Chain A
Amino acid sequence: DQQVKQNSPSLSVQEGRISILNCDYTNSMFDYFLWYKKYPAEGPTFLISISSIKDKNEDGRFTVFLNKSAKHLSLHIVPSQPGDSAVYFCAASAWDDYKLSFGAGTTVTVRA
């Protein structure tokens, strides 16, 4: 049973607009969350992370929001650029765990 869920398999957005990717988790022990980006024929690369002691973390055009009570996090990309077209994975872990649990991924397509 997947503990990290990305219910939108795909997202299409116009260049310059905001992309919002959503992620839900079921394990209440998770307290650290990461987003990875993956281009075809490449390995995933780290994008941004957030600890449960925060509700927001920002890095340039990327912002991750965490709502612990709802067990929900989201990634905002503003403004979206063609190079942002990729698969985005949400991942989570518990403090005493070495492992990341990944969601199924959301494919983002940025239209010119």
Chain B
Amino acid sequence: NAGVTQTPKFRVLKTGQSMTLLCAQDMNHEYMYWYRQDPGMGLRLIHYSVGEGTTAKGEVPDGYNVSRLKKQNFLLGLESAAPSQTSVYFCASSYLFRDRGDTGELFFGEGSRLTVL
């Protein structure tokens, strides 16, 4: 089982460049999320999706866009990268969250380390 797969794992960008991070899950999960991890800040939610064709803003959405054209994929885009977006990005997915009997856990990918110079 691949679980949640993120590509690329590493990327270096110059300020102003654009890029897309791809997240793919093979668990037929409805919900998908993009988090960023920064020292001393923990994991902060950027955007999330509750199903194919839907997206919503999280805590720190500015400078990012997302799309969920297929249930198994969730794309995170940076249109004009800034040094403040240097971070480790994690994609996660989950079943119908908080459904009876579910542990409510999120399944995370291995992370994508992005450096913006």
Contact = CB atoms under 8 A, between A and B. Distances in A.
A98 B48 contact: yes
B42 A103 contact: yes
A6 B98 CA distance: 24
Contact of B41 (A44, A100, A104): A104
B104 A34 contact: yes
Contacts of B110: 41-43
A44 B43 contact: yes
A95 B44 contact: no
B33 A99 contact: yes
Contacts of A80: none
Interface string B22-45: 000000000101010000111111
Interface in B88-114: 90, 92, 97-98, 103-111
Size class of A's contact patch? 20 to 34
**Which residue, of A34, A44, A45, A46, has the highest number of chain B Cβ atoms within 10 A?**
A44
Nearest to A47: B105
Contacts of A25: none
Interface string A1-34: 0101010010000000000000000000000101
Contacts of B97: 93, 98
Contacts of A93: 97-98, 104
